[in-house]
Amino acid sequence: MAENVTDFEAFTHSKIIAYETAVNFVKERKPSFDLVHILPGFMQGASELHETVDDMLNDFNRATIDTALGNILNCPKMTAQVLLKDVAGMHLFALNPKVVHNLENLVVVANDGHGIPWDSMALITKRCYPKEVEAGILRPIRGQKDLMMHFEVRSTQKALGAGFSDAVWIVRSVIDQYLQLRGSSISPDNAARSSAPSPEVK
């Protein structure tokens, strides 16, 4: 790795290089298939791949869990959150050639493309899990500085005919699974809510 380049910077540049390489390949080689780019934000949400709490803490979901547990980072935390199910649904939507075309970019970010402040996620956690907060299982507090990010998603939502899941769905998806894996869910509706489908991506 080049000197003075952070892991995140290297990760970001690798994405840019991959994007440009793919676009140039299609323009130059003109293959028989279409290329559609799905560009998700900071993915958060329950996953069937998570079998333990450590599984959740070792991926991007740690951001929402840290907020629910009152762990404040000493640096601004990235926003541009999006529900994992919405990203999965967008992959299916991208297969429809009637509405999605070659070299189209589908940007998938919640809150109309604006980042969701982490303090808002903390307030949602308090509202959705009062018993867990009272018991000290969850300790959401405000005070996290945000790295606010904004993306143009109107064209994607127009083609989709719908918006993306909001902050409440994101918090519920992550924290419901966290509590279930931890074996400490108190609220009686958590299990039913976690198994319910998120707003459909049509």
Closest of 86, 144, 142, 81 to residue 114, by C-alpha: 81
Structural domain contains residue 201: no
SS3 128: helix
pLDDT in tens, 112-166: 999 999 999 999 999 999 999 999 999 999 999 999 999 999 999 999 999 999 9
Q: Are residues 104 and 75 in the same domain?
A: yes
pLDDT tops 50 at residue 192: no
SS3 40: strand
Instruction: State how beta strands 81-83 and 77-78 pair.
Output: unpaired
pTM, 2 dp? 0.86
Structural domain contains residue 113: yes
Q: What was the pLDDT predicted at 190?
A: 56
Q: Which residue range(s) make up the domain with 1?
A: 1-33
Work out the average pLDDT over 51-63: 96
Q: Are residues 93 and 19 in the same domain?
A: no
Q: What is the CATH number of the domain that holds 161?
A: 3.40.50.720
Q: Are residues 24 and 59 in the same domain?
A: no
Q: Are residues 21 and 71 in the same domain?
A: no
- Estimate the share of the chain in helix, then strand, then coil, as percent rounded to the nearest 5: 45, 10, 45
Q: Are residues 44 and 133 in the same domain?
A: yes
Q: Are residues 66 and 165 in the same domain?
A: yes
Q: What was the pLDDT predicted at 195?
A: 43
Q: Are residues 116 and 18 in the same domain?
A: no
Query: What's the chain's average pLDDT?
Result: 91
Q: What was the pLDDT predicted at 199?
A: 39
Structural domain contains residue 200: no
pLDDT tops 60 at residue 18: yes
